[in-house]
Structure 1
Amino acid sequence: MIKSVDRALQIITIVSSRKDGFGVTELAEQLELNKSSIFRLLSTLAAHNFIEQDLETKKYRLGYKYLELSSKLLDSIDIRSEAKPFLKELESITKEVIHLVVYDQGEVIYIEKLEGSETLRTHSQVGKRAPMHCTSVGKVILAHLPENEVLSILERKGLPKHTENTIVTKEDLFAELVKIKEQGYGTEIEENEPGITCIAAPIFNNRGEIAAAVSVSGPTIRMSSTIMNEMKDKIIEVTQSISRRLGYLG
């Protein structure tokens, strides 16, 4: 383990155990470190708002960053619980794998997966991250993000080639995003995994912002253009229902 990170996390755990916080001397004694080391760790944590100092008592307590993070986590959990009945309905109709994802730091994270009743091997699992440019859910989310944010993601993550069908130029990707936004859904035919085809649609929150995306995934041999065309209306209906549950009025 990285000692400095371990010590910083220990400080957070200790400080969270008492409402009025801890002083530098108390923390130094508990962690068996000198005060200067404790102070440097506290200063770093405070700079990121994970720790704050009471100006009167000089003691350190948890910062408001945790409220921000917990709020984001609760938003995701709420989406998951509100979406579950609709995802089950979609699973029963399509018989294929259903995914619910959220956006985080230039990637998507699977927060729910229903296995369907048909055989399918995929790399996806709850908690796992996936790229945005070559997944239907990722492209759907990109299509509803501000352009400057999309460019920032592409600058950091690039457009790595996963299969022969992966989009690898900004021009082609932006053309695809415009199409997705116009039609209300996105597709991905073996762009991320060979033999796997997906269709996805967006979920919006009460502020009209993109909150998540839902996809149906199956083997390309089963997910023909005819089947995908039949699925698009249903998946849009499902994501609109979930969006309304989140307070979206659009």
Structure 2
Amino acid sequence: MASNNEREPDVDGEAGHGGVQSVDRALAVLEILARDGHAGVSDIAEEMGIHKSTVSRLLGSLVSREMVHQNSERGKYQLGFGILRLASSIPGRLSLVREARPVMEALADQFKETVNLAVLRSNYAVNVDQAMGPSTLATYDWVGSLTPLHATSSGKVLLAALTADDRDRILKETGLPARTPRTITSRKELETELIKVARDGYAVTREEFEIGINAMSVPVYSHLGTVIGAISISGPAFRFDPEKEPGLAGDLKEAGLQVSAKMGYTQR
């Protein structure tokens, strides 16, 4: 394998066949990451039989387009949010927004409140879709909004799914600013809350992000069993207490599993 690496010409910059070969190699890199979940430059180079410098250039291009993300685990790479963005433009099982939409609409209709789908991006929970209940009072469109992880139910779900190192990095970069008097601003208190989230399978906020709004959220899993998003339901605090709403926790968890199954997740 090493001798093949030494003899291989650098054709990335060549026209014609070299350009097609670069595309083929980039797709091969994505397939390896999809299969293994994450991989380092050396691992990919060895499997493909090409120079590590070539792999590094391929990964650099994929990272710049958010197709690939470099995590903090010894510099290994994994598929990025851009894959979902591409998938959402075509029919198919890989489109998180497309697959979650009917489930979200059913929840909004059943509980008469606002349902959101969020993913982790740039240290925040970004809402990528929203369904409104027939009697929902709120009219604000949260799609595209970046919300703090520590102060939202979706954010807590996404935080709880991270490794300790990734969570520590994000919280050091963002801090724990108070959005309301009820926002958790103590790291110790937040970590205790996240343990509860992991145990219960859902997260709750009570006027922590916005006074007068309560919410509950559950995770959505990929085919690899990793958390790729969160489905939340929120409503006015005067009428909506998530943990006292009959059947809500169970139905919301089931909704999360329905979407996860469409993304290829097999519950263990």
TM-score, structure 1 normalization: 0.72
Q: Does the CA-based 8 Å contact 2:67-2:83 persist in structure 1?
A: no
Cα 1:249–1:50, aligned 2, differ >3 Å: closer, same or farther?
Answer: closer
Cα 1:122–1:226, aligned 2, differ >3 Å: closer, same or farther?
Answer: same
Q: Secondary structure at the match of 2:245?
A: helix
Residue aligning to 2:161: 144
- 2-structure distance, mates of 1:64, 1:119: 41
Q: Is 1:171 matched up with 2:188?
A: yes
Q: Secondary structure at the match of 1:248?
A: coil
- 2-structure distance, mates of 1:20, 1:212: 38
- 1-structure distance, mates of 2:209, 2:127: 15
Residue aligning to 2:67: 68
The number of aligned residues is 199
Segments of structure 2 that go 5 or more residues without pairing to the other structure are 1-16, 20-55, 69-78, 89-94
Residue aligning to 1:180: 197
Q: What percent identity do the matched residue pairs reach? A: 29
- 1-structure distance, mates of 2:59, 2:183: 43
Segments of structure 1 that go 5 or more residues without pairing to the other structure are 1-18, 22-47, 53-62
- 2-structure distance, mates of 1:217, 1:80: 19
Cα 1:230–1:193, aligned 2, differ >3 Å: closer, same or farther?
Answer: same
Q: Secondary structure at the match of 1:117?
A: coil
**1:123 CA displacement:** 5.3
Q: Is 1:109 matched up with 2:118?
A: no
From 245, 260, 266, give the equivalent of 1:243.
Answer: 260
Q: Which has the larger radius of gyration?
A: 1
Cα 1:158–1:64, aligned 2, differ >3 Å: closer, same or farther?
Answer: closer
Q: Secondary structure at the match of 1:133?
A: helix
In the alignment, residue 207 of structure 1 is paired with which amino acid?
L
- Cα root mean square deviation, aligned: 2.7
- 2-structure distance, mates of 1:68, 1:226: 38
Q: Is 1:96 matched up with 2:105?
A: no
Cα 1:71–1:104, aligned 2, differ >3 Å: closer, same or farther?
Answer: closer
Deviations 1:96-143 (A, max 9, x none): 000000001210111001121224337552111110000000001111
Residue aligning to 1:201: 218
Deviations 1:132-191 (A, max 9, x none): 000000001111111111111110000000111100011000000000110110100000
Q: Secondary structure at the match of 2:102?
A: helix
- 2-structure distance, mates of 1:222, 1:248: 34
Cα 1:128–1:226, aligned 2, differ >3 Å: closer, same or farther?
Answer: closer
Q: Is 1:129 matched up with 2:138?
A: no
Q: Does the CA-based 8 Å contact 1:199-1:228 persist in structure 2?
A: no
Q: Secondary structure at the match of 1:199?
A: strand
Residue aligning to 1:213: 230
- 2-structure distance, mates of 1:152, 1:79: 26
Q: Does the CA-based 8 Å contact 2:124-2:148 persist in structure 1?
A: yes
Q: Is 1:158 matched up with 2:175?
A: yes
Q: Secondary structure at the match of 1:121?
A: coil
In the alignment, residue 99 of structure 1 is paired with which amino acid?
N
Q: Secondary structure at the match of 2:104?
A: helix
In the alignment, residue 73 of structure 1 is paired with which amino acid?
G
**1:227 CA displacement:** 3.8
TM-score, structure 2 normalization: 0.67
- 2-structure distance, mates of 1:123, 1:161: 21
- 1-structure distance, mates of 2:228, 2:143: 17
**1:248 CA displacement:** 1.0
Q: Is 1:120 matched up with 2:119?
A: no
Deviations 1:177-218 (A, max 9, x none): 000110110100000000000010000101111100000010
Residue aligning to 1:40: none
